[in-house]
Every structure is written in C-alpha cells, then in structure tokens.
C-alpha cells in the first residue's frame, strides 16, 4: 500500500466509465474515518454529478476541463453549520463564529479530502485537486447554496484514468524535512536543493514556452501573480466574514 502512495500521479484525463454510487460511497465511508477535532466532524462534502451542473460549476474553477470531464466532482467544505444547529437544539450555546474555528473546520475538511483521495486511488480511480476553490469561494457558495458557517476549501475531481501520466518531480526530502529545529536556507542550499528540478527537460521547456529567464519567474509572473493573490485574498477574507468566521 505504501507503494501506491509513492507511485501515484494526479489524473487530469478520465475514461468514459462512470463511478457507481456504491463505489463512491465506499470511498467516502473510508474518508470519514480520518481524524477530526474532538470527533466534531465539522465538514461537509457536496457531490456534483449532474452534467448540466458540472458545466455550470466549471467557470468557478476557471473552466479547468476536469470539472466537466470527470464523472464526479467533490467540494470539501469547512462546516460549523450542522454542529451549531445541533448545539442550539440541545440547549448549548456555540462559540464557533471565529477564525480559530474556521481553521479547525478547514483542517477537518482537508484531512477527509486526502483520505477520500487515497481510498479512491486504492480502488483504481484517479483524482485531481482544484486549487481554484479558495479563489472563487464566493461563487461556489452561491452555486452550492452553502449557508452561513460553511466555506468550501478544496475540490477534487474523480474518475477512472484515461491514461497513466509520468510522475512529476519533487524536491529531495532534505529540502522539506528539518531535524529538531528549522534550518533556514542559504543561497548554496537553495542552489543545491533546486538543481535537479531546474535541470529537468520538461521544466526547461516550461520556462522557454512562457518566455521567461528562470523557472521561478514562471510562478511569480505567469502562474501565481502578486496582484491576483492580493485580489483573491481580499475576496476570501470577505467570504470568511460573510460566512460568520471573523467575529
């Protein structure tokens, strides 16, 4: 099983084979066994399967084709709404309308999301995360009719793989792991840790195609730009306020 984790790749292209309700439920049942703060389970999962609804959802993920092409799209949400309602019906006064509680619920949602993904891969399915969820959370909230207390944090597309792509690079483990204390990165350490990544033919092509001098510039100038990040930060904080997590 650890080999399954080590050898996995993200799947962006799906076969026409559907995912049965039975299989989806088995994967979701495994997911909800992930750790959850105080066993509160402060998350929800919204399933999008209907073709018309997939088409309508796609723009809120910048029209990434996986949303329409995958048989199933799952939106994982931080959710204190259900828990708060339970409290109110049980003569208990919830105090979860704050930023710490949002983080608690977001952590719950993300641990479940990743467990669902591992379970799906164990069953031969392929998955792709959509990072766009935190960019257009306001639009997704309207589309999925998420009430106060609920914020979408990530989205996963799911289906049987149409192909088996080559595994992409990762930094060496010593770039990521610190022993006992954080060791900050010198210029020499950065050069050494990013050397292999920067030397890969596919990354060199990527720099060239984007007309940049360095791979880092593809990120800062093309893919994840300061102005976009700042704009969507304002939107996301407004979402947290509106959904009742910044009191």
Q: Does 139 bind a second copy (CB under 8 A)?
A: no
Q: Given candidates 168, 199, 205, 241, which one binds a second copy under the rule CB under 8 A?
A: 168
Identify the CA nearest to 129 among candidates 109, 144, 146, 149.
109
Q: Does 22 bind a second copy (CB under 8 A)?
A: no
DSSP designation for 163: S
Q: Given candidates 33, 55, 204, 241, which one binds a second copy under the rule CB under 8 A?
A: 33
Q: Does 196 bind a second copy (CB under 8 A)?
A: no
Identify the CA nearest to 126 among candidates 164, 91, 100.
164
Q: Does 13 bind a second copy (CB under 8 A)?
A: no
Identify the CA nearest to 27 among candidates 124, 125, 116, 157.
116
Q: Given candidates 14, 43, 60, 160, which one binds a second copy under the rule CB under 8 A?
A: 43
From the CB of 93, what's the least distance to a second copy, in Å?
6
Q: Given candidates 15, 26, 64, 68, which one binds a second copy under the rule CB under 8 A?
A: 26
Instruction: Write out the two tokens for 238.
Output: 């407004």
Q: Does 113 bind a second copy (CB under 8 A)?
A: yes
Q: Given candidates 13, 107, 210, 242, which one binds a second copy under the rule CB under 8 A?
A: 107
Q: Does 56 bind a second copy (CB under 8 A)?
A: no
Distance, in Å, from the CA atom of 166 to the CA atom of 151, rounded to the nearest integer, reads 34
Q: Given candidates 17, 55, 62, 85, which one binds a second copy under the rule CB under 8 A?
A: 85
User: Residues 94-130, buried b or exposed e (16+ Cβ, 10 A)?
Assistant: eebbeeebbebbbbbbbbbbbbbbbbbbeeebbbbbb
Q: Which residue, 6 or 166, has its beta carbon nearer to a second copy?
A: 6
Binders of a second copy in range 197-226 (CB under 8 A): 213-217, 219-221, 223-226
Distance, in Å, from the CA atom of 224 to the CA atom of 218, rounded to the nearest integer, reads 8
- Among left, alpha and beta (phi > 0; psi -120 to 50; other), residue 96 is alpha
Q: Does 105 bind a second copy (CB under 8 A)?
A: no
Name every residue whose Cβ is closer than 8 Å to that of residue 51 and which is 6 or more positions away in sequence: 68
How many residues touch a second copy (CB under 8 A)?
117
From the CB of 192, what's the least distance to a second copy, in Å?
11
């Amino acid at each position: 099983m650890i080999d399954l984790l080590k050898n996995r790749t993200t799947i962006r292209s799906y076969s026409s084979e559907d995912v049965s309700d039975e299989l989806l439920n088995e994967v979701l049942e495994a997911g909800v066994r992930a750790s959850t703060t105080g066993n509160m389970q402060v998350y929800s999962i919204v399933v999008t399967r209907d073709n018309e609804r997939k088409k309508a959802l796609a723009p809120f993920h910048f029209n990434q084709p996986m949303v329409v092409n995958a048989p199933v799209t799952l939106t994982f949400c931080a959710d204190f709404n259900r828990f708060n309602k339970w409290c109110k019906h049980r003569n208990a006064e919830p105090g979860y309308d704050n930023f710490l509680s949002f983080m608690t619920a977001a952590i719950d949602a993300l641990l479940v999301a990743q467990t669902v993904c591992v379970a799906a891969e164990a069953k031969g399915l392929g998955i792709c995360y959509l990072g766009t969820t935190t960019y257009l959370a306001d639009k997704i909230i309207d589309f999925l009719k998420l009430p106060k207390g609920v914020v979408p944090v990530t989205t996963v597309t799911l289906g049987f793989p149409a192909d088996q792509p080559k595994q992409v690079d990762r930094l060496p483990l010593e770039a990521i792991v610190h022993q006992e204390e954080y060791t900050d990165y010198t210029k020499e350490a950065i050069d050494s840790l990013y050397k292999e990544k920067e030397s890969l033919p596919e990354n060199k092509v990527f720099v060239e195609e984007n007309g940049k001098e360095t791979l880092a510039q593809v990120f800062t100038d093309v893919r994840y730009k300061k102005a976009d990040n700042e704009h969507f930060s304002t939107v996301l904080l407004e979402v947290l306020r509106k959904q009742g997590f910044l009191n």
